[in-house]
Structure 1
Amino acid sequence: MNKNLVLAIASMGIFVEALDIAIVNLALPKIEADLGLTNDSGYKIQSIYILIYGSFLILGGKLSDYLGRKTIFMAGCGIFLFTSLGAGLSHSLNTLVLFRALQGLGAALLMPAAFSIVNYYFKEPHERGKAMGIFGSFAATGSAGGVSVGGIIANYWGWSWVFLINVPILLVILVIAYLYLEKDTKGDSKLPDIPAAIALVLGMLCLSKITEGSYLLVSLVILLASAFFLYSRLKNQPDPLLDLKVLILASLRKGTLLFFLLGALFTGYLFLMSFLVQQNFHFTAAQSGFLMMPFNIISMLLGRFGLPSLSLQFSPKKIAIGGAVAMLAGALSLVAAIQLHSLVFLLAGGACIAGIGMTLCYTGYTVIAMEYVPSEHLGVAASLINTAYFVGGGIGLPLISIFMPHASGELNSRPLWLLCIVAMLSIARLLYRKKAGS
């Protein structure tokens, strides 16, 4: 078995998944113009993808254990391939939103299966650490480069190609995975609690509807019923979807909340920035992509060279606070950019949020959340904080859309103040301490 080839398969899968979260952002104004949408409706294209992804992530990990990593990896890639094709060929908002929702389902299957593949084939600690470093770098590169690549593709090829470009890549991944990954063997894992998973998804979808302000009473009733049913299943099932024991840990609960806020803030930033650079500062999608590329470079340099030194000098909490403060400074800088129509403040805001804040927050929050988690619960805890991040993004975007101007045109600073509030909530949670510690 060629382990390098296996690592390449898993890494390319996670690269496409990470790329697709960010690649749509700079294409959104073009999608809205082509489909005749308004500023406050385009968020649905991103919100539904992130929300479904986050809601199904835990189930995807459970299915990978039950049905086999190869089976679920190929299923995720297959769903992602056909839904990318459908999204690229869509001619209405409803059709595009439907395919984006199904893309989120594909991503929720693909990501934990790819993670499982790397851990299965690379067992020796040093070998596994090196492999996970490479695997993680593909995910980071996809996320960081997606915004810039999306703007360039949308400008020169059209917005459809931010989806269609996935098709040939995933086709190659599927063929190689089928030929080279070992056949799954039946393990000891039990069938995941499907009713609990359905309750989780229903609850998250209803929560997003509440933040949109639509179907308020019906959504609230279904949300409460789903939450009660989910809690009952988690408490009484012998093999629950999520072990409630891990939620006893104060550090994990704190980290989960921080990741929820981080998802809302950073997803909102990417969404708003795509409109700011194109509608307020009148850059093309390609120019916007090149304009935002330095933020990715700052993030990669900070992660590669800065964080190792900072980790030796400061605690994870101080690193996290530094990241949250950078997020707040960046959001305030973007407000100033609108008020003063200043490109300098625009670039400073992007550098603070995407270049510095995200890198420090993600690292600090991860250590805070996972610090006291027992080894047997690490997988569940990792799924939980990632779910919190994506659900935060899926719920944050509808909230931001409430403050967006209805008509197409320049944005005002109101939605950016919401980012400031989220950043301040993150700082407050990091600084808050109970008498016995938290």
Structure 2
Amino acid sequence: MAQPSAETTSESSGSADPRRWLALAVIAAAQLLVVLDASVVNIALPSAQQALGMSDVAKQWVVTGYSLTFGGLLLLGGKLADLHGRKRLFIAGLVGFALASAVGGLAQNTETLLAARAVQGGFAAFLAPAGLALLVTTFTNPAELGKAFGIFGAAVGTGGVVGMVLGGVLTEYGSWRWCLLINLPVVLLILIAAVRVLRDSRASGPVRYDLPGTVTGTLGVGALIYGISQAVERGWLSLPTLAFVLTGLVLLGAFVWIEHRSDAPMMPLRVVRDRVRGSGYAVVFLIGGALYAFYLFLTYYLQVVQDYTPLRTGLAFVPIGVGIFVGSVVAGRLLGRFSARVVVITGLVAGVLGIGWLGFIDPTTGFWTTVMPAQLVVGLGIGAALTTVMKLTLDGINPDDSGVASALTNAMREIGGAVGISALNVVAISVTAAAGPLTDGALTDGYATAFLVSAAVLAVATLLAVFAVKPDRVAH
């Protein structure tokens, strides 16, 4: 595996940064904000739609627009962080994110809100990989890095749940606009701390750009995510879906060919050639697909079948948030005592059992007897597995490539989530349609089948971890 190369930093002595734990708090808070904002507006959408006279077609773009620019620009954001300084891109991402949030929160028409959400996602694509790369370059002690990843993983895993709860509270007791405007004071606090405690770093060597790779990579990921989003609305065999998915795949194929031949590639192929790292990206993709679909179908089940209010639905997801937080932190502490393979496989097996448990729900299933304990099991397992896999994808990485490697981790989770939601939505709809009249029982059959397929997806991820992660591979 490639050895770390020299890196431009504010300190070159190699000694531990005395402010590293404060830096971790800043990085984790920013990552929580990025993940939270992908879900915080979900519960507020009906209110925003009514206030702005938004059509049903436009409504989905409040969410999709954020995901599209976020996923599409991640590789570019990671590369710019490596070239121009991770702290610099981190701060620029924060400032842009806050400004876009203000415009969206004050929007007086649909077009302004949609544009603001797209810009938000774009700046999040600069912020997220820069933060993760700063985490890797700030913590040089292997034991401390494991603990740091546990805390960071807790922020990533609980962000979606925090977003749903916060969205419900702000919408019910305030206004949908506060789901965006709340970012301003939060970003201001993070920004003040970031300027004071973060230590900058960037790749060594001259600044060189890979324009063909940048264009094909960014457009390829963007076209693929857009095509998958069309599958949710129009179906997998519709012309827009097929056209954009195929275009995305062709562009990504061209991207790989260009990177293979480029002297200064946007994404050096050495990043994914390592068996453990490449397999880790695949596992992150599968976890994203299963977990995003889990959130979606449990939300539908609670609101549509069991008639939960938006706020009650948000609060109902607290158990999985607690589970992910605990699982992530515990995994961070276990990564010096047990091999990463043991932690990943144990976590994924717990995820399979927890999501599979919900494959046997019916319209009268109790929250405290089934939904809550199943969520805890899923959260503990996925929290431990995802934290460990994220760390594996960055272990031993050349510091010059840490921004791009971090971007790939985020991109795999985002694309996996889009694929999982789209594919499993087709499964749920098909099962419900085959069950006969549209009743609570038929809807529940569709959701339950989607949960079982999600469990199967995690089972595939488990097998991949068994065969791809070496028995003696310890995250360090």
Normalised by the length of structure 1, the TM-score is 0.80
Match of 1:193 in 2: 210
> Are 1:267 and 2:292 counterparts?
yes
Does the 8 Å contact 1:63/1:191 carry over to 2? no
Match of 1:331 in 2: 355
Rounded Cα–Cα distance in structure 1 between residues aligned with 2:403 and 2:186 = 28
Does the 8 Å contact 1:258/1:365 carry over to 2? yes
Does the 8 Å contact 1:51/1:394 carry over to 2? no
Normalised by the length of structure 2, the TM-score is 0.74
Which amino acid in 1 is paired with 2:387? T
Q: CA deviation at 1:316?
A: 3.6
Rounded Cα–Cα distance in structure 1 between residues aligned with 2:222 and 2:260 = 22
Match of 1:285 in 2: 310
Rounded Cα–Cα distance in structure 1 between residues aligned with 2:198 and 2:402 = 25
DSSP-derived class of the 2:415 partner: helix
Q: CA, structure 1 residues 96+165, in 2 after alignment: closer, same or farther (shift >3 Å)?
A: same
Match of 2:5 in 1: none
Q: CA deviation at 1:237?
A: 1.0
Q: CA deviation at 1:189?
A: 4.5
Aligned residues: 434
Q: Within 5 Å, which residues of 2 pair with 1:29-40?
A: 30=47
Match of 2:376 in 1: 351
Q: 224-233 or 427-436: which moved more?
A: 427-436
1:332-384: CA deviation from partner (whole Å, max 9, x where unpaired): 4434334444333332342233x223213213534665567677756544432
Match of 1:15 in 2: 32
Match of 1:393 in 2: 417
Q: CA, structure 1 residues 384+94, in 2 after alignment: closer, same or farther (shift >3 Å)?
A: same
Rounded Cα–Cα distance in structure 2 between residues aligned with 1:426 and 1:373 = 26
Match of 2:180 in 1: 163
Which amino acid in 2 is paired with 1:297? V
Match of 2:164 in 1: 147
Unmatched tracts of structure 1, length 5 or more: none
Q: CA, structure 1 residues 377+224, in 2 after alignment: closer, same or farther (shift >3 Å)?
A: closer
> Are 1:243 and 2:275 counterparts?
no
Q: CA, structure 1 residues 431+177, in 2 after alignment: closer, same or farther (shift >3 Å)?
A: closer
Q: 426-435 or 255-264: which moved more?
A: 426-435
Rounded Cα–Cα distance in structure 2 between residues aligned with 1:322 and 1:186 = 36
Q: CA, structure 1 residues 126+36, in 2 after alignment: closer, same or farther (shift >3 Å)?
A: same
Unmatched tracts of structure 2, length 5 or more: 1-9, 11-17, 472-476
Which amino acid in 2 is paired with 1:280? V
Does the 8 Å contact 1:50/1:393 carry over to 2? no
Equivalent of residue 109 in structure 1, options 111, 115, 126:
126
What is the alpha-carbon root mean square deviation over aligned residues? 4.2
Does the 8 Å contact 2:150/2:329 carry over to 1? no
Does the 8 Å contact 1:152/1:287 carry over to 2? no
> Are 1:218 and 2:230 counterparts?
no
DSSP-derived class of the 2:207 partner: coil
Match of 1:295 in 2: 320
Does the 8 Å contact 1:26/1:285 carry over to 2? yes
Equivalent of residue 421 in structure 1, options 436, 449, 453:
453
Does the 8 Å contact 2:150/2:331 carry over to 1? no
Q: CA, structure 1 residues 423+310, in 2 after alignment: closer, same or farther (shift >3 Å)?
A: farther
Q: CA deviation at 1:260?
A: 0.8
Q: CA, structure 1 residues 199+7, in 2 after alignment: closer, same or farther (shift >3 Å)?
A: same
Q: CA deviation at 1:66?
A: 2.3
DSSP-derived class of the 1:243 partner: coil
Which amino acid in 1 is paired with 2:180? F
DSSP-derived class of the 2:317 partner: helix
1:89-124: CA deviation from partner (whole Å, max 9, x where unpaired): 446666544432221211111123334555666667
Match of 2:6 in 1: none
Rounded Cα–Cα distance in structure 1 between residues aligned with 2:214 and 2:103 = 26
Which amino acid in 2 is paired with 1:431? L
Rounded Cα–Cα distance in structure 2 between residues aligned with 1:436 and 1:182 = 32
Rounded Cα–Cα distance in structure 1 between residues aligned with 2:183 and 2:423 = 30
Q: 156-165 or 133-142: which moved more?
A: 133-142
Which amino acid in 2 is paired with 1:424? A
Match of 2:366 in 1: 342
